Amino acid sequence: MEVLGLGNSCVDHLLTVPRFPGRGGKLPVRHSALQPGGQVATAMVACARLGLRVGMCLRTGADVYGEIQRRALAAAGVGLDYARIVPDAPSAVAYILVEEASGDRSVIWSTDPRLAVRTEELPALGEGALRDLRAVYVDAKDPEAARALAAAARARGLPVVSDIDFPEANCAALIAEVTDFIGNEEFVSAYTGCGPALEDGLRRLAAQGPGMVCATLGPRGALAFDGEAFHPVAAFPIRAVDTTGAGDAFRAGYVYALLAGWELPARLDFASATAALTCTGAGAQSALPTRSQVIALLATHRRSGPWDALPAETPVRAG
């Protein structure tokens, strides 16, 4: 196992609507579907599609939704050595409204607190299936466990990539243990109080511990800061069917490029292309691309980089 994820996994109820309803409004559902999702689960599936060996600390209920999650992860190649079933808790679910014309989405979710991974349940890094671990990936669903796992990884010199999307009181302690922070523009603005001055917000985040901080900007791409310089990356022009999972795919592309040893601009290009392709299908995981598909999109838009020298389907293994 090269990458271990800790955080959200759920089942998504996708509801495609003509437009987002206003207060008290009523709208017909154009299309509905039930699919596996969750931000860390989706990122781990995306990493596996790109060729990395991944696993996940996972808690589900003993219901059909938990079975859907576990089967989907296993089928995608995500290791479940550290998955557990909590018999009396309902599995996590999310209800996602997708606007038909734009592909934009809004999410309503429910996760029982009994599904939280506790600190004492964390696996020992460097042992067993984790003897070849190269990175840790966390969100803030289980903040104490995420902080402990991130701290253990950082102590071993491993990169810690994060997906933190709510500016809560416990964020600072977790962010301090992250090496590569990627958050959306709304989080950076709300958490740092920078308002529209995004560069100031990224500087403030970097001062809290991460060596690289990045804000994703949706169709405007992303902006990263490495402690010395800012690095913008443009989004790829695609027709978005559903933007669910785009941020998770961006982070997965970044993890792949990071472990390949590529410089930051190349990591951002590869991440942006991975995110773009994910938006071409419905749901968080249905359109997650392979590495060859990402490279083909980069070539189509004449973005050259270290990926040009890679064999067609051989996963990268950094020396």
Residue 165 has pLDDT above 80, yes or no: yes
Which of 32-36, 128-132, 226-230, 243-247 comes out lowest in average pLDDT? Answer: 243-247
Comparing 311 with 157, the larger pLDDT belongs to 157
- Measured CA to CA, the distance from residue 142 to residue 154 in angstroms comes to 18
Q: Which domains does the chain have, with CATH numbers?
A: 3-7+39-90+117-309 (3.40.1190.20)
Summary mean pLDDT of the chain: 91
Residue 316 has pLDDT above 50, yes or no: no
Mean pLDDT of 123-136: 93
pLDDT band at 312 (very low <50, low <70, confident <90, very high): low
Percent pLDDT > 70 in the chain is 97
Mean pLDDT of 165-169: 78
Q: Which two tokens stand for residue 316?
A: 């990268």
- Residue 219 C-alpha from the chain's centroid: 17
Percent pLDDT > 90 in the chain is 72
- pTM of the model as a whole: 0.91
* Digit-coded pLDDT (tens) for 177-235: 999 999 999 999 999 999 889 999 999 999 999 999 999 999 999 999 999 999 999 99
Angle between helix axes 39-50 and 246-259 (nearest 10 degrees) is: 50
How do strand 222-225 and strand 230-233 relate by DSSP bridges?
Answer: antiparallel
**Nearest alpha carbon to residue 47 among 209, 159, 213, 179:** 159
